[in-house]
Amino acid sequence: MLITVKAAPNPSTTYGETVCVAGLNLDLNSPGWIRLYPINFRELGSESKFKKYNIVTVEATPNARDPRAESWRPRADRIRVESHLSTWDKRMPFIDDYVEDSMCDILAGVRERASARSLAAIRPSEILALDIEPHPGWSSEEQRKIDLYTQQEDLLYQGPRTALEAPRFKAWYRYRCGSRRCNTHRQGVFDWELVSLQRTVWDRDDAGVRQAIEEKFLTLMCAPDRDTIFYVGNQQAHPQSFIVLGVVYPRRA
Ligand SMILES: [Zn+2]
């Protein structure tokens, strides 16, 4: 599969910091979107071990606990990196056929049945805004999971488990999709890059962090000369609520 999405880590009792990884199945017998969950980020080691736009071979089984057809349970220790697509020129031929213009249609699908397609690449017709707001901190449920996880004995790693820190800011895209009846969408950004960006500017004040987020996620990724496309996906517990898992932004031809 081609890895296109690495979502922000979220707290989990059993797995610690779990990350949702998604991409395109390149197996010609079953092409299309695929989601790998759970992947424990520490299990994968450093970020460089597993990159977006790697082509990887994965051993996985259908995730019986998840009604979404795209969901698979990977064996994290059996993920083998085959190659890396370093430029948009190399990536777009894989992605182009999957780009759609109607978020409204995807939403209509999941309203009809929970197992409808849960991953997509949407080309907005108009990007209206990037809203940036302070992260409220983990919910009590998320904090409970973090506490449970950090209290457990760690058999694989020495030393105490550190708690997953909430990033300082959250962000949402507001956009209009290509559907004629579109009433606009507001979707939270759950791209790993939003978290890692905030880590690199941890020493700036709030205005400085906001500025860094806006420069990357709006000024750069949504520039008029970029063909901006959002990878979107829903959450198992909230099938009707889609989030932005990543951004595609090659220069327009
Ligand atoms: Zn729409």
* Beta-strand relationship, 119-122 and 99-100: parallel
Between the CA of 6 and the centroid of ligand 1 the distance, in Å, is 24
Contact between 60 and 71 (Cβ < 8 Å)? no
What the block records as the tokens of 143 is 């904090």
Between the CA of 187 and the centroid of ligand 1 the distance, in Å, is 11
Contact between 103 and 242 (Cβ < 8 Å)? yes
pLDDT tens per residue, the chain (253 residues)? 999 998 887 766 666 667 789 999 999 888 999 999 888 766 555 544 678 999 999 999 988 888 888 999 988 778 888 999 999 999 999 999 999 999 999 999 999 987 899 999 999 999 999 999 998 888 888 888 777 777 765 555 555 566 677 889 999 999 999 999 999 999 999 998 998 899 899 899 999 999 999 999 999 999 999 999 999 999 888 889 999 999 999 999 8
pLDDT for the residue 165: 75
- Helix-helix angle 192-200:206-214, to 10 degrees: 140
The helices-and-strands tally (H runs, E runs) of the chain is 5, 15
Between the CA of 176 and the centroid of ligand 1 the distance, in Å, is 6
Between the CA of 182 and the centroid of ligand 1 the distance, in Å, is 4
Between the CA of 129 and the centroid of ligand 1 the distance, in Å, is 15
pLDDT for the residue 82: 92
Between the CA of 184 and the centroid of ligand 1 the distance, in Å, is 5
Hey, where are the domains in the chain? Answer: 2-89, 98-155+163-248
- Report DSSP letters for 197-250, one per residue: HHHHTTTS-HHHHHHHHHIIIIIITT-TTB--EEEEEEETTEEEEEEEEEEE-P
Between the CA of 3 and the centroid of ligand 1 the distance, in Å, is 26
Between the CA of 82 and the centroid of ligand 1 the distance, in Å, is 37
Between the CA of 242 and the centroid of ligand 1 the distance, in Å, is 12
Pairwise CA distance, residues 47 & 41, whole Å: 8
What the block records as the tokens of 66 is 């998840």
Between the CA of 95 and the centroid of ligand 1 the distance, in Å, is 21
Between the CA of 143 and the centroid of ligand 1 the distance, in Å, is 34
Between the CA of 35 and the centroid of ligand 1 the distance, in Å, is 23
Between the CA of 75 and the centroid of ligand 1 the distance, in Å, is 36
* Beta-strand relationship, 119-122 and 229-235: antiparallel
Between the CA of 104 and the centroid of ligand 1 the distance, in Å, is 4
